[in-house]
Amino acid sequence: MDFYDLVSSRSSLRSFIKEKPVPDDMLRRILNAGRMAPSAKNLQPWTFKVVSSPDKLQEIYPCYPADWIQSAPHLLFVTGRPDEAWIRKYDGYNSIETDLTIALDHIILAATWEGLATCWIEAFDPALLRTALALDDDEVLFAFTPIGYPAADAKPRPKTRKNLDDIILFL
């Protein structure tokens, strides 16, 4: 599959094979793709947290409102510390959200390349998740993804995108 086919075929799936965990070597390849993501000034202000233990997963489930997430064998969180991220001197912009987003996107694309299912999630209770993951006070989380082999009934929702000519402007 070439890169453009990969990007076009990536979709958010919501049904996994719980009994088939992702092998450690595959998880490490996927996480390495996140490690290789660009970050402002190459500061890499992130930590990748993979939750696979049944007890910890049970603790996290109440943070998300839909039951389908419980079919994933792993939940993957990209957290970071704003004080370790680049700050633009002109206006104080902190790059942490951008840096974490790019890393998670690389991870999701790598998982798709490996034949795995993911789903970008931001609809979570931050306070419950902060407690469940024992995040430090200075640690932030903007999104996470379940990760695993897609179940036979995992079907992508129809993908709609604006027409390219409607969103580009050559200056």
Say which residues have a Cβ less than 8 Å from residue 103's Cβ, sequence separation at least 6: 34, 35, 37, 39, 46, 48, 78
91 inside domain: yes
What was the pLDDT predicted at 101?
A: 98
**How many structural domains is the chain composed of?**
1
Domain that holds residue 87: 3-153
14 inside domain: yes
160 inside domain: no
Calculate the dihedral angle through the C-alpha atoms of 38, 7, 20, 129, rounding to the nearest 10 degrees.
50
168 inside domain: no
What was the pLDDT predicted at 157?
A: 84
What was the pLDDT predicted at 130?
A: 96
Say which residues have a Cβ less than 8 Å from residue 83's Cβ, sequence separation at least 6: 138
Q: Which residues of the chain have pLDDT under 70?
A: none
Specify the pTM: 0.95
Say if CB 147 and CB 116 are below 8 A apart: yes
171 inside domain: no
What was the pLDDT predicted at 55?
A: 97
Average pLDDT over the chain, rounded to whole? 96
164 inside domain: no
161 inside domain: no
Domain CATH for 24 = 3.40.109.10
What was the pLDDT predicted at 158?
A: 85
Amino acid letter at 36? M
According to DSSP, residue 60 is labeled H
Say which residues have a Cβ less than 8 Å from residue 61's Cβ, sequence separation at least 6: 69, 70
Calculate the dihedral angle through the C-alpha atoms of 6, 98, 82, 45, rounding to the nearest 10 degrees.
40
64 inside domain: yes
